[in-house]
Amino acid sequence: MTKLVAGGLYSVVWDGDFRVVKVLAVDGDSVVHLKVYRNRFDSRPANVDVSILKWDIDMNDLSTIGIGHLPLALNGFLKDEPVFIQQDVVTPEEMEPVNSWRYEPEEDE
């Protein structure tokens, strides 16, 4: 099994394009939390300038969108054959939606 690392930027092939995703966190053997960038590449990037990566929505080009937090089944993501590009930092702001998704209220709430 591919060992995914938090903060790792990986290339994947989605819909015929190479895309870059950042692993925000991995929950055990079941869930990976991703940040999906909307940039598309013609070939699998060996490195990437993080400053050019966009995860927002471009209203002038809705053919692809970025997503700030996408929880996926780990096994499903591994079928996309992610290839490690380089290490990046996961910011506290990027972790906010991950932590909210993980939140389980107490029985009293």
Domain range summary for the chain, segments of one domain joined by +: 8-102
Angle at 42 between CA 61 and CA 24, to 5 degrees: 75
Per-residue H/E/C for the chain: CCCCCCCEEEEEEECCEEEEEEEEEEECCCEEEEEECCCCECCCCCCCCHHHCCCCCECCECCCCCEEEEEEEHHHHHCCCCEEEEECCCCHHHHHHHHHHHCCCCCCC
Give pLDDT, residue 28. 85
Report residue 16 as tokens.
Answer: 């015929």
pLDDT in tens, 3-61: 899 999 999 998 888 999 999 999 988 999 999 999 999 999 999 999 999 887 777 77
Beta bridge partners of 21: 10, 36
Q: Round to the nearest angstrom and report the end-to-end CA distance of the chain.
A: 39
Give pLDDT, residue 57. 75
CA 90 to chain centre: 11
Backbone angles phi, psi at 77, to 5 degrees: -65, -40
Answer whether residue 108 shows pLDDT above 80. no
Structure-model confidence comparison of residues 93 and 17, the more confident one: 93
